[in-house]
Copies of this chain bind each other. A is one copy, B any other.
Amino acid sequence: MLNRLFPNLDWLQGYSRAAFGNDLIAALVVTIMLIPQGMAYAMLAGLPPQAGLYGAIVPLLLYAALGTSRTLAVGPVAVVALMTAAAAGEIATQGTPGYHLAALGIAVISGAIMLAMGLFRLGFIASFLSHPVISGFITAAGVLIAASQLRHLLGNDTRGRTLPEIVPSFFQNLGTIHLPTLVLGLVVLGFLFWSRKGLAPLLRRAGLGAGAASLLAKGALLVAVAGSTLIVWALGLDQSGVRVVGEIPRGLPDFGLPALDLGLLQLLIIPALMIAIVGYVESISIGQTLAAKRRQRLDPDRELIALGAANLGAGLSNAMPVTGGLSRSIVNFDAGAETPAAGAITALMIAVALIFLTPLLHFLPNATLAAIIVVAVASLLDFRALPRTFAYSRADGAAMAGTILVTLFIGVEEGLLAGVALSLVLFLYRTSRPHMAVIGQVAGTEHFRNIERHHVTTDPGVFSIRVDESLYFPNARALEDRILRAVAEQPELRHVVLNCVAVNFIDASALESLEEINQRLRDAGVQFHLTEVKGPVMDRLQRSHFLDELSGQVFLTQYDAMASLSPERTARCLAAPRAQSARQDTAGQGA
């Protein structure tokens, strides 16, 4: 029973003391990162700092129980925090109870959506997001996230959701920069950037092992937090205008269903859907990367269920929406986490911190949190992806560029939707023009090839065409157009032969198209034949009336068709000297 509910807890059997030790160390390192990051992302989401810390308790416990990754570190992440701020900001002003309620609603609804997607195996919906769109979206989101932190780094009132709002606001507020905040912020920022590159080598030179040095370097976050807090406290900088975190309620979060009404639910459902999909895609790619390194495997549907439960848990415990995050997952993995227990231990440590350590965080300056955010998102920016993608495929490059521009200049949700719409349109454009080859017989053989690439024999009375694609609604019309053009152009035409060797599927639109082709050809006095129809396609056609109405026949092979429709010419071609040497013999030239 327990096994069926929690099939991913198999690691519990034979959980060793050694594994526990490893999990404990990993949990400690992750906790040290998570406390400031959680508060920082809560600030980014426009929520009180505890919303980020709460997001590291219940959600982590639920993911540990239900998730299939052994090393994924779930919790607040930057992109989801930004999307939450954008969506909740549409409903109410930051800082109001309505805003907080909207954020909780987003967690609940996106959790429910993920859960439903997992239970009904709808994970494929995430494939609406093509890689170029995700990559462009994350880069653009990173730019907006960094820009949104200007306010905290400058200590003034620079605001805005998009570049056209932030840039003018930045210049208007240049006069009100708060110098102590700026200096503090820049020092922390510089220290954190340096620590990412410079600290580990330094520690190694000081005699530490490479692994330990790299782990200790993560402690830079702790140093930055403790150092800046001490400075503010010691110099009384909060009195002179450096904004600090302030009071964090001591103790564990309250539980309870947020008071959502139907109107609010309707407003939140689209943003919550987008957050669910982005969160899932981000999480599963990190999880799969890490799992593959140890030859482990994630179950995408179970991941959706686990992330859905984690977000529901977040919404019910006053926390912000969560997902699997890149940086902490890598740290968790590198620190040697072996099982989901590491996540559960992290949750307990955060709970302990909430009970005992919140007073210590009172004087933590917002500028430090902003610096932590900026350093975290810097690794998300990948500006070289755009030219690289363009070079590979202009359509993909266009989708990426569109996503980036709309996200930066119009908004986060609009950018994602524009990217999805662009991908779909470009995809349909490509699919709507399948490769079609008019084919003819290769001399001396029973083979038929593209007349544009090979010297082949055709009969002006027979039009043979091969479609190198399944027939479905985006391309149904293309075949119709091509065949009707041939009929209009070739007055001697008596037979059209459709070669289906590359057709894996025919949907209802294409079926109707075939029926219309058949009807129109009949009206024009032309017979319509099929050849090389695959078994499953034939089964399906037999369930319709198409074959009864077909004016021509279904031949097993193209050769059979031509031997029957143009016997003399086909026999002559078969007897001719083989291939290459044969001269091109097309409809216009006769013989």
Contact = CB atoms under 8 A, between A and B. Distances in A.
A205 interface: no
A487 interface: yes
A424 B521 CA distance: 30
Contact of A524 (B295, B475, B491, B505): B295
A547 to B, nearest CB: 12
Nearest to A525: B295
A428 interface: yes
A5 interface: no
Nearest to A292: B520
Interface residues of A, number: 71
Interface in A267-297: 285, 288-289, 291-293, 295-297
Interface string A473-517: 111110011001101100100000000000011011101110010
Contacts of A433: 124
Contact of A544 (B295, B392, B511): B392
Interface in A206-256: none
A396 interface: yes
B512 A428 contact: no
Interface stretch (A43-51, A125-133, A257-265, A552-560): A125-133
A540 B127 contact: no
Contact of A475 (B127, B135, B475, B504): B127
A129 to B, nearest CB: 8
A393 interface: yes
A300 interface: yes
Interface string A387-408: 0110111011100100000000
A472 interface: yes
A434 to B, nearest CB: 9
Contacts of A300: 477, 481
A477 B300 CA distance: 10
A521 B485 CA distance: 49
A292 B132 contact: no
Nearest to A132: B508
B289 A520 contact: yes
A289 B513 CA distance: 11
A500 B128 CA distance: 23
Contacts of A512: 131, 135
A132 B484 CA distance: 22
A508 B427 CA distance: 12
B543 A507 contact: no
The 8 closest A-B pairs by CB, nearest first: A292-B520, A396-B508, A130-B473, A297-B488, A131-B509, A124-B432, A293-B523, A131-B512
